[in-house]
Structure 1
Amino acid sequence: LMLRQDVFVIEQDCIYPDIDTKDDDALHVFCRDQSGAILAYARLVPPGLKFAEPAVGRVVVARHARATGLGVLLMEHVLEDAQKLYPGMGNRISAQAHLKRFYSQFGYEQVSDEYDEDGIPHIEMLLSSTS
């Protein structure tokens, strides 16, 4: 939660309710450094809580760990978990618009016009089922 707050609220200067009821039912995926500090995090929300499909969200990498490939490894891992837990369901995300290219490398396609979410441009993206 501290990493999410540090990036989404403080770094991005965006006051919004980061902690929500979806955290209770989500699978939390993260990577720690040798000292135990969390370097990267994402949550996998079950189908029906945010979208009809499962949803990856709150994807974040600590500032000092960016551009190391950790974000790619995190996404690969959480998408493997999604496929195991929800086979054949695909995955939908609400992505910050400037990250479209990042999520596209995993097979996500933009399925909405750009919209404002908490003062930041977002797009909905869908990863179709591979089963």
Structure 2
Amino acid sequence: MKLDPLKLWNNSSSKDAIIDFVRRVTDSDSADFVRPEDRIAVFDNDGTLWCEKPLPVQADFMLRRIAEMAKKDPSLAKDQPWKAVSEKDYKWLSDAVCPFTEVFQPNNRLERLPLFSINEII
């Protein structure tokens, strides 16, 4: 009996391509072999490859963009949302951007995850 690594997937060219890719990069005799220490794995419970915690990708992008804009034009910092980003006003950002206020709390353990740090962005 052959093991089907993606048994819940429909048979398709996409499924075959994924299985073939994994086989090639994990086979040490393959020209496409990737050493384990050079591999990156992405996991998500709903099947997407978007990271959702500690902050949605879209919010991360938005905050980085706002910070870039305020750095380029400091006069923006007198108005929201540039003011909140410039002043690291986590409360304003939480209320305006994300219903999960714990994400923006400066000493919250979520902030210290390697995927994201609000202090690195703003």
Same fold at TM > 0.5: no
- TM, length-normalised to structure 1: 0.23
Q: Comparing both structures, which one devotes a greater share of its residues to strand?
A: 1
The structure whose RCO (Cα within 8 Å, separation 6+) is larger is 1
- TM, length-normalised to structure 2: 0.24
Q: Comparing both structures, which one devotes a greater share of its residues to helix?
A: 2
- Structure showing greater radius of gyration is 2
